[in-house]
Amino acid sequence: MDKKFNEGAWAEPGTSVKNKTGSWRTFKPIVTDRCVGCGTCTKFCPEGAIKIVEKNGKKKAEINYDYCKGCLICLKECPFKAIEKEVEK
């Protein structure tokens, strides 16, 4: 059987990580120092591309630009206005 064509067209899990959807962006959200790591944006990111990381004892949102499609919901919803945007280069 040709491995490329699984009989019945089934797929292995989670394989869409190959789609680097970050290339779709026209605007890029930037997390500024005003971020307190509250995590609001993580609940609203349609791509699940934001996580809270701890750096030097400070919590902060980190955006995975490989997959962020630049919808800017995070910017809109941030209670601390801690996310800014720039035009994608």
Which residues of this protein are in contact with other proteins, per CB under 8 A? 2, 4-21, 24-25, 43-49, 64, 66-67, 69-73, 75-77
CB 78 within 8 A of CB 31: no
| Residue closer to other proteins (CB basis): 57 or 79 | 79
Residue 63's closest CA among 44, 42, 33, 82? 42
End-to-end Cα distance, the chain: 44
CB of residue 8 to other proteins, shortest distance in Å: 3
CB 24 within 8 A of CB 70: yes
DSSP-based three-state secondary structure for 52: strand
| Residue closer to other proteins (CB basis): 7 or 56 | 7
| Residue closer to other proteins (CB basis): 10 or 55 | 10
CB of residue 69 to other proteins, shortest distance in Å: 4
